[in-house]
Homo-oligomer: A and B are copies of this chain.
């Protein structure tokens, strides 16, 4: 399956890649059990047997989707880290929130998939590393929430999760939340960024201020 993924990545026009892209979207919207292989095949405009030919069974395809999504998310986080390197904490967070929010709104299926995996059980075990721990630790280090670069303390992990999940929530919940506030998409995205920056940053900068005072 690893090779299949690589093939799909090489040529985005290939059938493998088209199926993978469609699967990302549908699995994201409906979850694993809410998605049928027929739904994916229909979206691509092919027969289900073609789908199975390229990706094996439903679980294999799902795992490929997770790996693929994981890679994209990881790359984006690296981009973010590049952009914030060296700046003061408040600014780092502000930029990181804005960049990540924009990116995820452009690829909402990523947030969908992430949240599904957090909150939903699958009847048959899907065993995948998912890299969340790794990513979370990286972000924590990048935000200076830990001194030991090897392992992040629980507190730092939960703090990062609070921020990341705050973003995912508004991206993935757009269909639900946007009608509540009656904004068009652009306004919604802007207001989400402002709200997240307003709510999520102050705690961290306040703490840093206190620590600096001590010194």
A106 interface contact, C-beta 8 A? no
Residues from chain B with Cβ under 8 Å of A182 in the complex? 154
Stretch of A4-12, A30-38, A46-54, A71-79 that contacts chain B: A30-38
How many A residues touch the partner, as a band? 35 or more
Interface code A107-142, partner B: CB below 8 Å = 1, 0 otherwise? 000001001111111110000000011001000000
Check A158–B120 contact: CB distance below 8 A: no
Residues from chain B with Cβ under 8 Å of A34 in the complex? 31-34, 120-123
A30 to B32, CA, bound (A): 10
Stretch of A14-22, A61-69, A191-199 that contacts chain B: A191-199
Other-chain contact of A123, B30, B157, B177 (Cβ < 8 Å): B30
A83 interface contact, C-beta 8 A? no
A181 interface contact, C-beta 8 A? yes
Check A177–B161 contact: CB distance below 8 A: yes
A191 to B136, CA, bound (A): 17
Other-chain contact of A206, B117, B173, B206 (Cβ < 8 Å): B206
